Amino acid sequence: MKVEDLILVSVDDHAIEPPNAFARHMPERFKGREPHVVKSGERDVWVFEEQATGYMGLNSVVGRPKEEYGMEPLGYDQMRRGTWSIKDRVDDMNANGVLGSMCFPTFPGFAGQRFQVHSDRDVSLAAIRAYNDWHLYDWCNAAPGRFIPLMLVPWWDMQAAAAEVNRLAKLGVHAVSLSDNPAVHGYPSIHSDYWDPLWKACSDNNVVICCHIGTGVKATHASDLSPIDAWITTMPISIANSAADWIWAPMWKKFPNLRMALSEGSIGWIPYLLERADFTHRHHNAWTNSNFDGQMPSDIFKKHFVTCFIEDKFGLQNLSFMNEDMVTWESDYPHSDCTWPHSPETAWEGLQHLSKETVDKVTHLNAMREFSFDPFAIHGRENCTVGALRAQAAHVKTEPALGLGGADHGRNDGKAVTSGDINAMFEQADAGTAL
């Protein structure tokens, strides 16, 4: 097997919503209240209900030289077009040899957090549904067989959430994005039966719950003087606390076919988490009253949890301590961890010691099965390999683009960029969104 023979399906990428994403899909009674983009100085700013809602670029630095990764995009003209244009995204996927992609939101928050906090629930629900329709019809369905669609749901109304799952599952959507810990946003714990209508709808419709890092429990900055590298290092592992919480959560007994994904969580740390979870159960369940009906916590994880990796040699050498049938690959386009346009080569470094059967599982077959995604039926397997896709992308320019501009982290003295530098940059950027 060679790099050109790989078939890559990414379960974690991101779309920058184009400025008109909501206009066509917002209900008539809410026309004029849909999320939209305005110009604020040199910035393109998303606005919803007269509130500027955060940093639009969100680390969309793909295609830049690494020396310019600290320059956060301020507008669409400072980002590679593949971040927000569906035609250009497919071109970039071909150039990277990537067949399929699941794209998390940007402006709404990875799990739609920004739609969960507005007091007017009717317009918020309309915005969620409009986002889902844009994502399905204008993004995913514009390139059949290339995208795994991903929905958002309201957190404040479980009947409406279940109805949205039922509606979109009938249209072929089998993934929903949710916070890994909704309680930090003021919603009930995942241990509450509050969420049961959503779990049931997902279970009944074969929908995977996707919990992206940073949507609940977040990596913390040790101090303002700490190099930002330390924070970046812990980002994927930061979801470990939530992973343990989900292992002990009650939904697996109620809905035994339910699955969830630790999106952008990596895999190298998982063997020890499972060892520790089993140790905890053996040593403490007599007084904590935890009960897995004769199973171990690791059994719950291996059955219900989908995991993913970008580059993770340690994890790939220790698949026997996980469940290789639930391990998947990700690209993370267009964020700074993305390896575009060399993802096949970097992935192959960690994969080449594995059997072809295992390589096929973790690069595409597991993702296709878990997310009900069948690109082979549309394109034919022979047209889905890295080599076949790259042959379609001879016209795509992949050389680093210099000097696109953006928000400077302000460190030009050769010293390490710190957490304080980055926090100050984001505070300044947030201040710049005031309308």
Domain boundaries, the chain: 3-20+96-396
Looking at residue 429, its pLDDT comes to 63
The mean per-residue pLDDT over the stretch 396-409 comes to 89
- Of the pLDDT bands very low, low, confident and very high (cuts 50, 70, 90), residue 434 is low
Tens of pLDDT, residue by residue over 77-102, are: 999 999 999 999 999 999 999 999 99
Tens of pLDDT, residue by residue over 184-219, are: 999 999 999 999 999 999 999 999 999 999 999 888
Classify domain 3-20+96-396 at the CATH topology level.
TIM Barrel (3.20.20)
The mean per-residue pLDDT over the stretch 4-13 comes to 98
Does the structure show a pLDDT above 70 at 435? no
The mean per-residue pLDDT over the stretch 323-329 comes to 98
Tens of pLDDT, residue by residue over 265-281, are: 999 999 999 999 999 99
Looking at residue 249, its pLDDT comes to 98
The mean per-residue pLDDT over the stretch 357-386 comes to 98
Looking at residue 327, its pLDDT comes to 98
**Of 34-43, 113-122, 229-238, 324-333, which has the strongest mean pLDDT?**
324-333
Looking at residue 307, its pLDDT comes to 98
- Of the pLDDT bands very low, low, confident and very high (cuts 50, 70, 90), residue 424 is confident
Burial class for 46, CB neighbours closer than 10 Å (0-12, 13-18, 19+): buried
Looking at residue 82, its pLDDT comes to 98
Looking at residue 432, its pLDDT comes to 55
pTM (predicted TM-score): 0.96
Looking at residue 291, its pLDDT comes to 94
Residue with the larger pLDDT of the pair 26 and 430: 26
- Of the pLDDT bands very low, low, confident and very high (cuts 50, 70, 90), residue 42 is confident
Does the structure show a pLDDT above 90 at 414? no
Looking at residue 377, its pLDDT comes to 98
Looking at residue 221, its pLDDT comes to 93
Looking at residue 423, its pLDDT comes to 84
Does the structure show a pLDDT above 70 at 141? yes
Looking at residue 56, its pLDDT comes to 66
Task: Pick the range with the lowest mean pLDDT from 260-269, 338-347, 423-432.
Answer: 423-432
Looking at residue 431, its pLDDT comes to 61
How far, in Å, CA of 176 to CA of 179, rounded?
10
- Of the pLDDT bands very low, low, confident and very high (cuts 50, 70, 90), residue 406 is confident
Q: Which residues contact 209 (CB under 8 A, 6 or more apart)?
A: 176, 178, 199, 202, 258, 259, 260, 261
Average pLDDT over all residues of the chain:
94
Does the structure show a pLDDT above 90 at 301? yes
The mean per-residue pLDDT over the stretch 315-333 comes to 98
The mean per-residue pLDDT over the stretch 357-361 comes to 98
Q: What share of the chain has pLDDT > 70, as a percent?
A: 97
Looking at residue 411, its pLDDT comes to 73
- Of the pLDDT bands very low, low, confident and very high (cuts 50, 70, 90), residue 350 is very high
